[in-house]
Amino acid sequence: MSDITRRGRRAFWALLLAVVVLAGVPSLVLVDAARDYWRFLSGWDPGVLRPTTVRRLPKHDGPAEDLPDIRFVEFALEAPDAKSVRLAASFNGFDPASLSLTREGKGPWQTLVPLPPGRYEYAFEVDGRWLPDPDGPAGGRRAGKPVSVKVVR
């Protein structure tokens, strides 16, 4: 094979690679932007629930004393090596699949949950392993597994 043919093939493959890269990068950016726009349109946001000011309450025919007093309660766990952390508690039927915690960067896993005052038992599921809150008071056992207690006032 002649030297000109080899150079021609190399130039062809280099040009093809450049076209794929130049076409692929903007496509990835456009796909990501389209995904964000769809989330905006559908109202779905995977962010952590943050406390807000309630400007309007739903219609309630009974006395105002019947309305529950809601507090935003933070649940947090330091688990730097964890892939996923979920919360199982008495307020969600001890179903860890219903409430996942998130984290920003290398910070703690956390979530905010709106709860009325009361006593709640809870535990974390860290990568499928049941773990009571190491910073919370022990609350005994639930279905043979250790749980912690959080009192909302």
DSSP 72: E
The predicted structure's pLDDT at residue 119 = 92
pLDDT digits (tens, 9 = 90+) for 85-124: 999 999 988 999 889 999 999 999 999 999 988 999 999 9
Helices and strands counted in the chain (H then E): 1, 7
125, 85 Cβ separation under 8 angstroms: yes
The predicted structure's pLDDT at residue 26 = 74
C-alpha distance from residue 24 to each of 28, 30, 32, 35, 150 (Å)? 6, 10, 12, 17, 50
The predicted structure's pLDDT at residue 67 = 64
Tokens of 53: 């000011």
pTM value? 0.57
Instruction: Give pLDDT < 70 ranges for the chain.
Output: 1, 44-62, 64-67
The predicted structure's pLDDT at residue 123 = 95
Q: Provide the residue type at 105 as one letter.
A: G
Q: Decide: helix, strand or coil at residue 31.
A: helix
How many other C-beta atoms are found inside a 10 Å radius of the C-beta of residue 113? 19
Q: What's the fold here for domain 64-152? A: Immunoglobulin-like (2.60.40)
CA dihedral 114, 118, 124, 130 (to 10 degrees): -150
* Of the candidates 71, 75, 68, the residue with the CA atom closest to the CA atom of residue 99: 75
Domain boundaries defined on the chain: 1-45, 64-152
The predicted structure's pLDDT at residue 44 = 59
The CA distance from 110 to 104, in Å, is 9
